[in-house]
Structure 1
Amino acid sequence: MQRSNARFVERLPLVLNRPVYAYILTLSFCGLALLLRFAAEPLLPDGYPFVTFFPAVILASFLFGVRPGLFAAILCAAASWYFFIAPRNSFVLNPGVAAAMIFYTGVVVVDIVLIHFMQHANFNLAIERERSAALADNRELLFHELQHRVSNNLQVVAAMLALQRRHVDHDVARRALDEASERLALIGRISRALYDPSGAGQGVRAFLTTLTADVIEASGRTDIVISVDAPEEVQLEPGITVPLALVVAEAVSNAIEHGLPHRGGTIAVVLDRNAGELCLRVSDDGDGVSPDFAVEHSKSLGLRIANTLAAQIGGRFTLAPGAHGGAVAQLILPPRAAC
Structure 2
Amino acid sequence: MQRRNERFVERLPLVLRRPWQAYLLATVFCLTALAIRTMAESAMPIGYPFVSFFPAVILSSFLFGVRPGIYAGVLCGLLSWYFFIPPRMGFALHPGVLLALGFYSAVVIVDIALIHLMQKANFNLAIERERSRVLAENRELLFHELQHRVSNNLQVVAAMLSLHRRHVDHDLARRALDDASARLALVGRISRALYNPSGEGQNIRAFLTTLTADVLEASGRDDIALTVDAPDALTLEPDIAVSIALIVTEAVNNAIEHGLPHRGGSIHVGLDVSDGTISLNVTDDGKGLPPDFDPGFSQSLGLRISNALAGQLNGRFSLMPSATGGATARLDLPVRA
Fold match (TM-score > 0.5):
yes
Structure 1 outlier segments of 4+, above 3 Å: 290-294
- 1:167 is matched with 167
Task: Kindly state the Cα deviation for residue 159 of structure 1 after the two structures are TM-superposed.
Answer: 0.5
Q: Is the 8 A contact 1:285 1:326 kept in 2?
A: yes
Task: Kindly state the Cα deviation for residue 55 of structure 1 after the two structures are TM-superposed.
Answer: 0.5
Matches within 5 A, 1:144-155: 144-155=144-155
**Structure 1 residues 85 and 119, CA gap change in structure 2 (3 angstroms):** same
Q: Is the 8 A contact 1:272 1:278 kept in 2?
A: yes
Distance 1:144 1:250 in 2: 28
Code of the residue aligned with 1:160 in structure 2: it is: M
Aligned residues: 333
16-25 or 96-105: bigger deviation: 16-25
- 1:36 is matched with 36
- 1:231 is matched with 231
Matches within 5 A, 1:154-303: 154-290=154-290, 293-303=293-303
Task: Kindly state the Cα deviation for residue 264 of structure 1 after the two structures are TM-superposed.
Answer: 2.1
- 1:122 is matched with 122
Deviations 1:121-152 (A, max 9, x none): 11001100110111011011001100110110
The secondary structure found in structure 1 opposite 2:73 is helix
The secondary structure found in structure 2 opposite 1:8 is helix
Task: Kindly state the Cα deviation for residue 296 of structure 1 after the two structures are TM-superposed.
Answer: 2.7
**Structure 1 residues 35 and 321, CA gap change in structure 2 (3 angstroms):** same
User: Please, what is the CA RMSD of the aligned residues?
Assistant: 1.5
Deviations 1:64-87 (A, max 9, x none): 100110111011101100111111
The secondary structure found in structure 1 opposite 2:145 is helix
Distance 1:56 1:323 in 2: 83
**Structure 1 residues 6 and 101, CA gap change in structure 2 (3 angstroms):** closer
Distance 1:291 1:109 in 2: 93
Q: Is the 8 A contact 1:224 1:264 kept in 2?
A: yes
Deviations 1:67-120 (A, max 9, x none): 110111011101100111111111111111111000000000000011001100
Task: Kindly state the Cα deviation for residue 178 of structure 1 after the two structures are TM-superposed.
Answer: 0.6
Distance 2:213 2:21 in 1: 65
Task: Kindly state the Cα deviation for residue 16 of structure 1 after the two structures are TM-superposed.
Answer: 1.1
- 2:70 is matched with 70
Distance 1:59 1:13 in 2: 10
The secondary structure found in structure 1 opposite 2:160 is helix
Distance 1:187 1:143 in 2: 17
Q: Is the 8 A contact 1:193 1:207 kept in 2?
A: no
Q: Runs of 5+ in structure 2 lacking a partner? A: none
Task: Kindly state the Cα deviation for residue 292 of structure 1 after the two structures are TM-superposed.
Answer: 5.9
TM-score, with structure 1 as normaliser: 0.95
212-221 or 244-253: bigger deviation: 212-221
Distance 1:146 1:6 in 2: 35
Q: Is the 8 A contact 1:294 1:319 kept in 2?
A: no
Distance 1:147 1:202 in 2: 17
- 2:143 is matched with 143
Task: Kindly state the Cα deviation for residue 238 of structure 1 after the two structures are TM-superposed.
Answer: 2.7
Task: Kindly state the Cα deviation for residue 193 of structure 1 after the two structures are TM-superposed.
Answer: 1.4
Distance 1:330 1:85 in 2: 90
The secondary structure found in structure 1 opposite 2:280 is strand
Code of the residue aligned with 1:270 in structure 2: it is: G
The secondary structure found in structure 2 opposite 1:50 is coil
- 1:12 is matched with 12
The secondary structure found in structure 2 opposite 1:320 is strand
Task: Kindly state the Cα deviation for residue 260 of structure 1 after the two structures are TM-superposed.
Answer: 1.3
Code of the residue aligned with 2:108 in structure 1: it is: V
Distance 2:239 2:144 in 1: 18
Distance 1:291 1:154 in 2: 39
Deviations 1:165-195 (A, max 9, x none): 1011111111111111111101111111111
Q: Runs of 5+ in structure 1 lacking a partner? A: none
- 1:102 is matched with 102
Code of the residue aligned with 2:309 in structure 1: it is: L
Task: Kindly state the Cα deviation for residue 202 of structure 1 after the two structures are TM-superposed.
Answer: 2.9
Distance 1:248 1:99 in 2: 84
- 1:330 is matched with 330
Code of the residue aligned with 1:254 in structure 2: it is: N
Task: Kindly state the Cα deviation for residue 224 of structure 1 after the two structures are TM-superposed.
Answer: 2.2
Distance 1:183 1:155 in 2: 10
Please say if 1:87 is aligned against 2:74.
Answer: no
Distance 2:292 2:170 in 1: 32
TM-score, with structure 2 as normaliser: 0.95
The secondary structure found in structure 2 opposite 1:7 is helix
Task: Kindly state the Cα deviation for residue 31 of structure 1 after the two structures are TM-superposed.
Answer: 1.2
Task: Kindly state the Cα deviation for residue 291 of structure 1 after the two structures are TM-superposed.
Answer: 6.0
Distance 1:280 1:55 in 2: 67
Q: Give % identity.
A: 69
Q: Is the 8 A contact 1:158 1:184 kept in 2?
A: yes
